[in-house]
Amino acid sequence: MKKLAIITGASSGIGQQIALDLAKQDYKCLLLGRNITKLKNTETKCYQSESYMLDLTSEKQILTTTTEIVKVYLHSDFEHIVLINNAGIVERNSFVNTSIDSWKHQFQTNLFGPVLFTQKLLELLKSRTSSKIINISSTLGVKPITDTSAYSATKAAMNNWTQSLALELAKFNIQVNAICPGIIETPLQDFYQTQDKTLRQNLNSLQPLGRIGQSSDISAAVQFLADPNTSWLTGTIIPVDGGILLG
């Protein structure tokens, strides 16, 4: 079976790890992101992958990119297609100090951009007997913490959208699920570059399973949902968080 994966935010962190792992499972990966240099670096590590410039804050760029992808792959011989909406940003601040522009920027990148991107790829996804959409959300969309009101709201909305879309697309046998990562060691996190061993130990000790997460933990969940044999699972919001939501 020929398999195609479309991955946003594939230049680093979780998105890059997803691409690397799916490429090992014989997926052709379409890598999308804002930094074409970093995307090309990922591309060199992924067999038969391609890079596309994509800024989710630009409606014009979304339309141009999706039109190109549909044109190239609508009548291709790929039998299994997986769309992974991974790209996102976080701008931490107290509610009183979070500007409306920050709210708009986070909603555009984390929700409205992925919504439009997905909408414009539906023709391609519907053209196969079974396609999948996997949204990378956050545990903060389930249980927010302080100074993340805008970001948490975007991810709560993504979770709800995931389930609404799952209902709507079930008749096309398109499975739609979301993964909610907990604290993952990626460049998106403030502590990523720290050499403070005490800080790392404290972060690890807060997790019921004793450690913060790695990109590979999220990629493993993506691989499970993307697998053609995972065929009766839709509308789920799956925490991959080392058990932090239990505490």
> Which active-site residues does the annotation give?
151
Beta strands in the chain (DSSP E): 3-8, 27-33, 50-53, 80-85, 131-136, 174-181, 237-240
| Alpha-carbon gap, residue 179 to 177, rounded angstroms | 7
Exposed, middle or buried, 151 (CB in 10 Å: 0-12/13-18/19+)?
Answer: buried
Alpha-carbon torsion 12, 13, 15, 17, what sign?
positive
Whether the CB-CB separation of 17 and 215 falls below 8 Å is answered with yes
- Pull the structure tokens for residue 221: 């969940």
150 backbone dihedrals φ, ψ, rounded to 5°: -70, -50
Whether the CB-CB separation of 89 and 155 falls below 8 Å is answered with no
84 backbone dihedrals φ, ψ, rounded to 5°: -120, 105
Place of tokens 């925490």: 239
Whether the CB-CB separation of 141 and 185 falls below 8 Å is answered with no
3-state secondary structure of 214: coil
| Alpha-carbon gap, residue 60 to 168, rounded angstroms | 26
